[in-house]
Each structure stands twice: as C-alpha cells, then as structure tokens.
C-alpha cells in the first residue's frame, strides 16, 4: 500500500471559546488533489497550520510523506497559508531565488526553477518589480510560485485563488494538475466550490472543527449538497446542546 503524502490521525487543537479542530482524520494520496471546504471559521486554516507544524496539536499526530511531523523533510513541502511570505523591498525574482535556496537548491538550480515558474504563472514581466509595488493578485501569484517552484511532493494551499483574476485561476489550476500528475499530494482549502470541483479528486467538508462528510466532485449540484451537509450538522448539534 502506498504511503500517503499527508496524513492526520485524530488531530485536535482547542482554543478558548470552543474554537479549533477536533478528532480530524485526513489523508492526501500521491497524485491526488484533495479539497477541504467549509464556511468561514470552520477550522480549515487551523487544520492546515497543524499539518505544517505551525501550531502544536492538543492531541493526535501528523505524518508528512511518511515521516512524523517533527522530522518531516521540509525541502519537499510547498505551502501558502494565509499571507504570502515575501520581502517587500525585494523584487519578484530575488524573492523566488531566496525561497528556492531555502528549499535546498543551489544557485544554478534556483535560477532555472525561478525562470520556469515565472513563465508558468505569467509573472515574467514582474520579475524586476518590488513585491510591495505589486497588486494583491500578483503578490498572491508570487506566493504560489514560491510554494510550487521546487516541485514539492507535498503541497498545502489555503484559499489559493484569493485575489486571482480568471487567468490566474486557470494558470493555478493547470499548475496543480501537472504536479498531481507527477505524483505530488495536494491539499487545497477553498470556499469556491465550483473551482475545487474542477480539479479535486476528493472533497472533504468540515464544520465547527470536525469532518462531517464528503462531496462528489462530479456531483450535479455540489453547492446544494454542501449546504445540506452543513445544515444537518448544525441542526444535530443544536438538538444535542438543548
């Protein structure tokens, strides 16, 4: 049996007021795009931060490409969670070269990777533009380029289409499909159900920090199915709380 690229077992992290995630089991297989969907505040970003070691769980464990989280091979992980990490005073190319070097590329490899991803995400004309002078959409593309350029085996992206125009969404979609075809395991969170349905092999729904079901990416009315799941879960917990 092939080792999952990403696996969470009974993952839990609780915050004050009942926020957080509870008892989440999740797997992302090699070659799979696994979408995570939920309403705002459902726990998507918290879960992704736990999977990447940005937060410590209250309980449960995470394996990244078969290795427990503290010993994960971060050179083979690419991620974009919340705000793209970049230096505002540096131009696009320099930011990408720094990211490539941090992932273990030598100078020659970094230059080739950067040229390739600038072309792939249509950022070549912004290579010499300082990050702080870029539009919000191009900053997002730069963050995605940083996460994808080293062709990692594990990719975690939180709302990656935020601020992207339609052409940027299409470029990202194609980039993710190529990497999945090459064997990467990709976890993507989104509230754009129609977009994730175009690329996802599997869709997991979370609500109030818990996995509550799955959706068929090829379903006829995926939006109706999503809201039905969330509504049923809310009603169930309202009855139990009363």
Predicted confidence (pLDDT) per residue in 17-26, tens digit: 778 999 999 9
Residue 167 has pLDDT above 90, yes or no: yes
The mean per-residue pLDDT over the stretch 156-180 comes to 96
Mean pLDDT of the chain: 94
According to DSSP, the residues that pair with 59 across neighbouring strands are 12
From residue 178, give the alpha-carbon distance in Å to each of 5, 117, 157, 158.
16, 13, 15, 19
Residue 193 CA, distance from chain mean position = 15
What was the pLDDT predicted at 236?
83
Residues 6 or more apart from 140 whose CB is under 8 A from it?
84, 160, 162, 163, 164, 168
What was the pLDDT predicted at 64?
97
**Whole-angstrom distance, CA of residue 172 vs CA of residue 45:** 20
The mean per-residue pLDDT over the stretch 115-141 comes to 96
Please report which confidence band the pLDDT of residue 242 belongs to, taking 50, 70 and 90 as the band edges.
low
The angle, 0 to 180 degrees and rounded to 10, between the axes of the packed helices 107-120 and 136-148 is: 130
Q: Return phi, psi of residue 84, to 5°.
A: -55, 135
What was the pLDDT predicted at 83?
83
Q: Which residue has the higher pLDDT, 2 or 21?
A: 21
* Cβ-count burial 169-208 (b if 16+ within 10 Å, e if not): eebbbebbeebbeeebbbbbbbbebebbbebbebbbbbbb
**Whole-angstrom distance, CA of residue 18 vs CA of residue 241:** 13
Domain 6-44+55-202+214-241: top CATH class? alpha beta
The mean per-residue pLDDT over the stretch 148-161 comes to 96
Q: Return phi, psi of residue 214, to 5°.
A: -130, 165
What was the pLDDT predicted at 241?
65
Please report which confidence band the pLDDT of residue 172 belongs to, taking 50, 70 and 90 as the band edges.
very high
The mean per-residue pLDDT over the stretch 126-155 comes to 96
Please report which confidence band the pLDDT of residue 239 belongs to, taking 50, 70 and 90 as the band edges.
confident
């Amino acid at each position: 049996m092939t080792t999952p690229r990403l696996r969470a077992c009974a993952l839990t992290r609780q915050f004050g007021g009942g926020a957080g995630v509870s008892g989440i089991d999740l797997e992302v297989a090699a070659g799979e795009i696994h979408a995570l969907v939920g309403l705002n505040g459902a726990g998507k970003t918290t879960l992704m931060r736990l999977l990447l070691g940005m937060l410590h769980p209250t309980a449960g464990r995470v394996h990244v490409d078969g290795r427990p989280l503290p010993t994960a091979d971060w050179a083979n992980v690419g991620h974009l969670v919340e705000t793209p990490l970049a230096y505002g005073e540096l131009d696009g190319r320099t930011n990408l070269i720094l990211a490539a070097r941090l992932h273990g590329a030598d100078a020659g490899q970094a230059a080739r990777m950067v040229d390739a991803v600038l072309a792939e995400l249509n950022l070549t004309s912004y290579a010499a533009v300082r990050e702080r002078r870029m539009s919000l959409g191009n900053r997002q593309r730069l963050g995605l380029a940083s996460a994808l350029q080293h062709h990692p085996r594990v990719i975690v992206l939180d709302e990656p289409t935020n601020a992207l125009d339609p052409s940027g969404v299409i470029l990202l979609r194609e980039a993710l499909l190529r990497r999945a075809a090459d064997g990467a395991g990709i976890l993507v969170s989104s509230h754009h159900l129609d977009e994730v349905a175009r690329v996802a092999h599997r869709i997991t729904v979370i609500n109030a920090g818990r996995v509550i079901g799955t959706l068929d990416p090829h379903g006829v009315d995926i939006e109706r199915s999503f809201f039905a799941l969330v509504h049923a879960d809310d009603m169930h917990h309202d009855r139990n709380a009363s």
